[in-house]
Amino acid sequence: MKIASYNVNGVNGRLEVLLRWLDEASPDVVCLQELKAPDGKFPAKMIEAAGYGAVWHGQKSWNGVAILAKGQEPLITRKGLPGDPDDSQSRYIEAVIDGMLIGCVYVPNGNPCPGPRFEYKLNWLGRLATYAGELLELNVPVILAGDFNIIPADMDVYKPERWVNDALFRNEVKDAYKRLIEQGWTDGIRELHPNKRMYTFWDYFRNSFGRDEGLRIDHFLLSPDLVAKVSKAGVDRDVRRWQHTSDHAPTWIQMSQKPMRKRKLHG
DNA sequence: ATGACCTCCCGTGGAGGA
């Protein structure tokens, strides 16, 4: 079972790229971020024609997240990150697929830093930590996948010294990621590739992709019972080369088997 | 380097992205 995350940077503007990638990569589950479309403009019919059921949480112009499942309808369990009823940004959606809880995450960018946008990011990450802790207590298989807008370590950025004051690499943000790991989540990509550069984003400027000046900011956080089941992980870098492509590349993990529908932990 | 490059919007440049 292959589970992917892809910040499409406009689901309608990139629809051709998305559909081609779905056809070629054939992921079982896809978490999409940055739809940049309101609910009524989500291209559900084209995605269905490609063989995928979908649930989505859109927003005009910005943000927006969706979960796709091959050959089935995801069972939606949540729209929006809990913890602030005044937060109107569409950055979280969650669904059950094959007995697994899939949380699709789009963490705020946070730039410029310092400033209100950075404060919003830190606040959002605090709410995510609270909610992620509740998810772990359920003792069911959970994956939090998406664009975290966090560069976890020096290895995850081409020139760390250039990014020290950026909202993606500030200590407060790296610490927020570490807190999630300390809760018991495992970084699925790093679990399989502990020493490899695994960039998932290259900006449009300066021929960043051609020079491989990238960032690893798209992540899979696995609940403890899923860690032993991850057999492969990778980045579909070729997609970043395509015409009219997103600045992110699709990123994925492969589970060696379907997890049990229910699992009881003892002790 | 307030840069570049790309999306969206009802726009004909601005905001947001990372």
Separation in Å: B3 C1' and A53 CA: 42
Q: Does the CB of A60 fall within 7 Å of any strand B atom? A: yes
Hits for CB < 7 Å against strand B across A residues 119-148: 147
Which tokens in the block code for residue A249? Answer: 């590349």
| pLDDT string in tens for chain A (267-residue length) | 999 999 999 999 999 999 999 999 999 999 999 999 999 999 999 999 999 999 999 999 999 999 999 999 999 999 999 999 999 999 999 999 999 999 999 999 999 999 999 999 999 999 999 999 999 999 999 999 999 999 999 999 999 999 999 999 999 999 999 999 999 999 999 999 999 999 999 999 989 999 999 999 999 999 999 999 999 999 999 999 999 999 999 999 999 865 455 555 554
Closest to A104 measured CA to CA, from A69, A52, A130: A69
Residue A79: per-residue pLDDT: 97
pLDDT score for A265: 54
| Strand B and A111 CB separated by under 7 Å | yes
Chain B bases closer than 7 A to any CB of the protein: 3-9, 16-18
Q: Report which of A45, A144, A38 is spatially closest to residue A95, judged by C-alpha positions.
A: A144
pTM of this structure: 0.95
Give the model's pLDDT for residue A267: 42
Q: How far is it, in rounded angstroms, from Cα A165 to Cα A31?
A: 29
Question: What was the pLDDT predicted at A168?
Answer: 97
Q: In Å, what is the CA distance from A8 to each residue of A50, A53, A89?
A: 17, 17, 17
Strand A218-222 versus strand A142-147 pairing type: antiparallel
Q: Match 């699925």 to its residue by tokens.
A: A188
B5 C1' – A94 CA distance, angstroms? 32
3-state secondary structure A67-122: EEEECCCCEEEEECCCCCCCCCCCCEEEEEECCEEEEEEECCCCCCCCCHHHHHHH
CA A72/CA A108 separation, integer angstroms = 30
Beta carbon of A34 within 7 Å of strand B? Answer: yes
Lookup: nucleotide whose C1' is closest to A147 CA: B18
What pLDDT is recorded for position A153? 97
Nearest nucleotide (C1') to alpha carbon of A202: B18
- In Å, how far are A107, A147, A170, A172, A199 from A114, measured between CA atoms? 17, 21, 10, 11, 25
Q: Tell me A260's DSSP state.
A: P
